[in-house]
Amino acid sequence: MLDKKRRFQGLVVVGVLFLAMIGGLMPDPFAMPWPVVHHRKAAIGVLGRLADFMNGMRAYSDANMNFAASAPLLRGLAEYEIGASSSPNVWIGRNDHLFFAGEQTTAQSGGTIYRQRRTLHFVDIAAILARELARRGAKLVVAIPPNAQSVAIGDLPDWAKAHSPLEYDLAMEELRKRGIETVDLKTPMVAKAHRRSLYLRTDTHWRTFGAVFAYNLVVSGAGHPEWKADPATVRGPVAPIAAGDLARQMGIRPFLTDSGAPLIPVPAGEWDKLDILRSPPFEGVFDTYAYARRGAKSGARVLMLGDSFTQYFWLPLFERTDAERIGWMHHSNCTFDYADVERFDPTLVIWVPTEREMPCPLTAWPAGLPHQ
């Protein structure tokens, strides 16, 4: 007679074999619908239609069978519980705070990489841009939204603590030496008592409160304190929201939530869309926009050179100002088209690349911007 230990081991083996068998016969209960879309002409002939059918079955099987969704989900949940992510783009800090680890973000915030030449290249471009804008009667203001790792330091493990020198500090110091107007966002954000209210816990981005906080610092530093927004009136109530992109990359988005407050949109009819920014969407997703206040014949014309931290976070805030014109275009990793800037005819340009995207590739230069 088998002892209890061997009987238990036998049951485990039978269970594993049973799961392996039904995994190939039964669709994964956590799989998402998988529409089969053909992006080529319909196959001709019996063999062609048979090949199409088999390819569709293979695609369906890859997405729905053999625990294609359950296994990554269970792995992600297990990793989340033990506080260690196998995703190269996500790591888990204290208080279940997920941090973006791609694009060398963690190393940049911690000071373990220091790309001095690329950071100074960013400063060189900013200096030429400021000079060209000054010739047109406009001014440049530079602000750098920090990485979450640079602000939510209380949620960092000991190994991720920052050590000088830092690229952010170099950029701000050199910009000031060149006489370029800057707004330091990191220092007041780190000094804020409730730093966790600034960045989402499951997403790369800041919360709307962090967006408003940074916006108020920037417009005040740009000489327009009257444009500051009251977080209590421009945001809706705080409520649970779906988990963000970092939870998705771990495969556990359906099982996590975050919290946030939506920005309240401005009533339609106050702004007219302009067709003056002609650059194609950066990476196919970052659409430019330009608006003019209906009936306005004077006032500031504000153009943002930003990314996902400002594209739609700051639009409803600027729409509440008395600006004559507002616009946004992606900085395109320092390759934006200066012709768009000239067509927009700004009085104020705010260059706001996030910290991880601030160092310019050494071969990058804005199209149409003089090199000297």
Average pLDDT of span 151-166: 87
Q: What is the pLDDT of residue 85?
A: 81
Q: What is the pLDDT of residue 67?
A: 52
pLDDT over threshold 50, residue 259: yes
Q: What is the pLDDT of residue 65?
A: 54
What gap in Å lies between CA 112 and CA 102, rounded to an integer? 14
Residue 33 φ then ψ, to 5° = -55, 140
Cβ–Cβ under 8 Å, residues 150 and 357? no
pLDDT tens readout for residues 196-240: 789 999 999 999 999 999 999 999 999 999 999 999 999 999 999
C-beta atoms surrounding 63 within 10 Å: 16
Reading the block at residue 186, the tokens are: 């990191």
pLDDT level of residue 84 (50, 70, 90 thresholds): confident
Helices (H), 259-305: none
Average pLDDT of span 189-193: 87
Q: What is the pLDDT of residue 99?
A: 95
Q: Which of 31-35, 81-85, 92-96 has the highest mean pLDDT?
A: 92-96
Q: What is the pLDDT of residue 287?
A: 95
Q: What is the pLDDT of residue 160?
A: 80
Q: Which residues have a Cβ under 8 Å from the Cβ of 306 and sit 6 or more positions away?
A: 314, 328, 329, 330, 331, 350, 351, 352, 353
Is residue 140 classed as helix, strand or coil in its secondary structure?
A: strand
Exposure string (b/e) for 196-216, b if CB count within 10 Å is 16 or more?
A: bebbbbbbbbbbbbbbbbbbb
Reading the block at residue 138, the tokens are: 């406009």
Is residue 155 classed as helix, strand or coil in its secondary structure?
A: helix
Cβ–Cβ under 8 Å, residues 216 and 234? no
Across the chain, mean pLDDT equals 87
Q: How far is CA 255 from the centre of its chain?
A: 21
Task: Give the residue from 133, 151, 193, 210 showing the smallest Cα distance to 355.
Answer: 151
pLDDT over threshold 70, residue 337: yes
Q: What is the pLDDT of residue 72?
A: 64
What gap in Å lies between CA 83 and CA 122, rounded to an integer? 36
What gap in Å lies between CA 276 and CA 295, rounded to an integer? 18
pLDDT tens readout for residues 106-127: 999 999 999 999 999 999 999 9
What gap in Å lies between CA 183 and CA 176, rounded to an integer? 10
Q: What is the pLDDT of residue 73?
A: 60
Reading the block at residue 325, the tokens are: 């014109």
Cβ–Cβ under 8 Å, residues 43 and 54? no
Indicate the helix (H) or strand (E) that contains 260: strand 257-260
pLDDT level of residue 3 (50, 70, 90 thresholds): low
Which position has the token pair 């906080």? 213
Higher pLDDT, 306 or 45: 306
Q: What is the pLDDT of residue 39?
A: 45
What gap in Å lies between CA 203 and CA 245, rounded to an integer? 5
pLDDT tens readout for residues 170-183: 999 999 999 999 99
pLDDT over threshold 80, residue 278: yes
Average pLDDT of span 55-83: 64
